Structure 1
Amino acid sequence: MFINCKGTLVDLSKPKVMGILNVTPDSFFDGGKYKDEAKLLNHAEKMLAEGADFIDIGAYSSKPNAEFVSQTEELQRIVPVVELIRKHFPATLISIDTFRAVVAKACVESGAAIINDISAGMLDDKMLETVGQLKVPYIMMHMRGTPQTMVKLTQYDDIVKEMLSYFAERINTARTFGINDIVIDPGFGFAKTLQQNYEVLSKMELFKIAGLPVLAGMSRKSMIYKLLGTTPQEALNGTTVLNTIALSKGANILRVHDVKEAKETVKIFQISECRFASPVRALPSGQI
């Protein structure tokens, strides 16, 4: 199971970690932390040193009720960051968190290798056509409405069944535009209640029916800290637990704020999976 990132073939049969780099003032966890070049580069370097396989850059917060950001402002925020990271860390595989085709095109032309779209092409009717022309992998997420309206759109008869239908339609449409490498993201926290998030997680292996890689993005989200009555800052342990469950359900990519901990989770999960998959042999009598 490979994706082609501008000539670099990435094997997703072994789980990968995508580090988050938000260049927004209002992201729920790290908004406003990376305001200048030094801080941006230090954080990118830290994530790469810790083993990030991708860095996902976003310039438009997609948290519930996020403020609207114009296309011009999004471009002004994100393109210089892509260029900066490519200049200092040219081998970095950069993912762009955007639902706008113009932003996607500008970033790929500046060196980005993946487009990560929270709307699966539903918020910009030029997105799928543009990604098909750019020939880059496309991460499509499940969401209803927009970041400003999604909290009101949580009524489902059968949430997983409806999500599978959504992905079937979106994948088929993406294929008609020549998009070859597709990753699906269940969209934890997007148009879903706390209970619905956990229902989706409990049935996450069903998304493998599409035969495509699956990304899990639950890092420090409200499904953790609201359940535990804490804060995003205290949600690292919960994130690790959910990442472990996601891996057991077949996740191929973990999108996280904390790369070191996620890489450790993957390493332990992989060796444990190998051990558990091995036949159990009886020990000689008297040995434990």
Structure 2
Amino acid sequence: MQIELLSNSVDIGKYLKNINVDSGGVAILSLKALHYIVYIRDLHVGAANILKQDALSVGADLGVPRGTVVAKNPYVNCILIATARQLQTLSKKELAQPFGLKEVAYKLQEILKVKKPSHAEVMGVINANDDSFFSASRFKENSAIEAIERMIEEGADIIDVGGVSSAPNSVHVDKAEELRRVKPILDLIQAKRLYDRVKFSIDSYEPLVIEHALMSGFKIVNDITGLANSEVAKLCASYDATAVIMHMQKTPQIMQERPEYEHILSDIYSFLSSRIQEAEAFGVKDIILDVGIGFGKTLEHNLMLIKHQEHFLTLGKPLLVGASRKSMIDKISPSLPKERLGGTLALHLESVKNGASIIRVHDVQEHVQALRVQQALMNI
């Protein structure tokens, strides 16, 4: 007899099929192998006591503060730990319970519907400005086209072109100057029909610039303001373009001045949820979400958002993460932007593992290779 300890990250269904478990058993056992940790804030203490007993009755558990059983506080924070199968049973049980547990049940059902993407796309970065924080990403006209063609050969799925730096303390640039910077690149992309070879994204929140890009064959609008200007939403709708809605606290000029949140995950979730509703009201059909790593966040905020990407999948949209060579890496391992490739790869691979569908990068070839290796490991 031989006994082997398998990784929790294996495709358990594949292993069960390999030992010839029947199809019904594969489905049941796969649900038992998948575990969830659900943080519930401000739950009525009566609901917490009911949920605790219901969780125990199905083999799950609920972590509650001391004094909950005697209702020491009217509302408590709890942590539910359950398999997918247990969560499924609980979501049905709580539909008939009082104290707001019906809402908990609906949320558990949303969580159960989440499916992590099986593949992540690589978005290469082209900056048409002189003040981007990473100098190797700055290009003009013909050099930009050469870089784009190289990124395509290296395996990029999307190329993101921008003319204004959004780094902390960056200088504001007016829309005419922004268009002047990017127009030669947009025109060359259109003339060479490069949009037939790869998807293009315009990194802008100025309608003047965005419309020129969309007329040049671009299909994605990457808006760091999260569609704050309704004219951008209207353009996305009229050109049937995909909108990337990003979260940013304040503006690039002041966003890193003592950023604060009540609850980082819930606060950004609420923002993205409201912006999705607004965008869809304007007729935007395809939406990608970006939690905005480095845009008004501390190091801890950024790490929390990368670690818990899966939380945002319940919004039902693909997720983009852009942590490439950002200063958060320097706070963990002191380094200049040109020395942060290793840290970037670690952050992006973790993001993909936790649910990201797109990663925005300065180093296409290295990321394509890293993702292929990660995918091979996940398929074992």
TM range (shorter): 0.7 to 0.9
The alpha-carbon deviation at position 30 of structure 1 amounts to 2.4
Asked whether the 8 Å contact 1:98–1:115 carries over to 2, the reply is yes
Alpha-carbon distance in structure 2 between the residues aligned to 1:162 and 1:118 = 17
Matched, 1:142 2:259: no
Matched, 1:15 2:120: yes
How many residues were matched structurally?
Answer: 262
SS of match in other structure, 2:125? strand
Find 1:57's aligned residue among 156, 161, 164: 161
Q: Which residue of 1 aligns with 2:234?
A: 129
Alpha-carbon distance in structure 2 between the residues aligned to 1:164 and 1:32 = 31
Alpha-carbon distance in structure 1 between the residues aligned to 2:369 and 2:283 = 36
The alpha-carbon deviation at position 13 of structure 1 amounts to 4.8
Q: Point out where structure 2 has 5 or more consecutive residues left out of the alignment.
A: 1-116
SS of match in other structure, 1:81? helix
Alpha-carbon distance in structure 2 between the residues aligned to 1:140 and 1:176 = 14
Find 1:182's aligned residue among 284, 287, 291: 287
Alpha-carbon distance in structure 2 between the residues aligned to 1:112 and 1:33 = 20
Alpha-carbon distance in structure 2 between the residues aligned to 1:183 and 1:153 = 27
Q: Which residue of 1 aligns with 2:264?
A: 159
Q: Indicate the structure (1 or 2) with the bigger Cα radius of gyration.
A: 2
Q: Which residue of 1 aligns with 2:174?
A: 70
Higher helix residue share: 2
Alpha-carbon distance in structure 1 between the residues aligned to 2:199 and 2:248 = 25
The alpha-carbon deviation at position 254 of structure 1 amounts to 0.8
Find 1:232's aligned residue among 318, 337, 351: 337
Comparing both chains, which one has the higher relative contact order based on Cα–Cα distances under 8 Å and sequence gaps of 6 or more? Answer: 1
Asked whether the 8 Å contact 1:25–1:31 carries over to 2, the reply is no
Alpha-carbon distance in structure 2 between the residues aligned to 1:15 and 1:22 = 22
Say if 1:133 and 1:153 are closer, same or farther in 2 by CA, change over 3 A. Answer: farther
Among the aligned pairs, what percent are the same residue? 37
Q: Which residue of 1 aligns with 2:129?
A: 24
Alpha-carbon distance in structure 2 between the residues aligned to 1:44 and 1:22 = 11
CA offset digits 1:102-141 (Å, max 9, x no partner): 211121012211100001112x232212211221001110
TM-score (ref. length: structure 2): 0.67
Alpha-carbon distance in structure 1 between the residues aligned to 2:214 and 2:369 = 30
The alpha-carbon deviation at position 195 of structure 1 amounts to 1.5
Say if 1:102 and 1:56 are closer, same or farther in 2 by CA, change over 3 A. Answer: same
Find 2:215's aligned residue among 100, 103, 109: 109
The alpha-carbon deviation at position 38 of structure 1 amounts to 3.0
Q: Which residue of 1 aligns with 2:320?
A: 215
TM-score (ref. length: structure 1): 0.87
The alpha-carbon deviation at position 247 of structure 1 amounts to 0.9
Asked whether the 8 Å contact 1:225–1:234 carries over to 2, the reply is no
CA offset digits 1:198-220 (Å, max 9, x no partner): 11111111011111100010110
CA offset digits 1:130-167 (Å, max 9, x no partner): 21122100111011221112112611110111000001
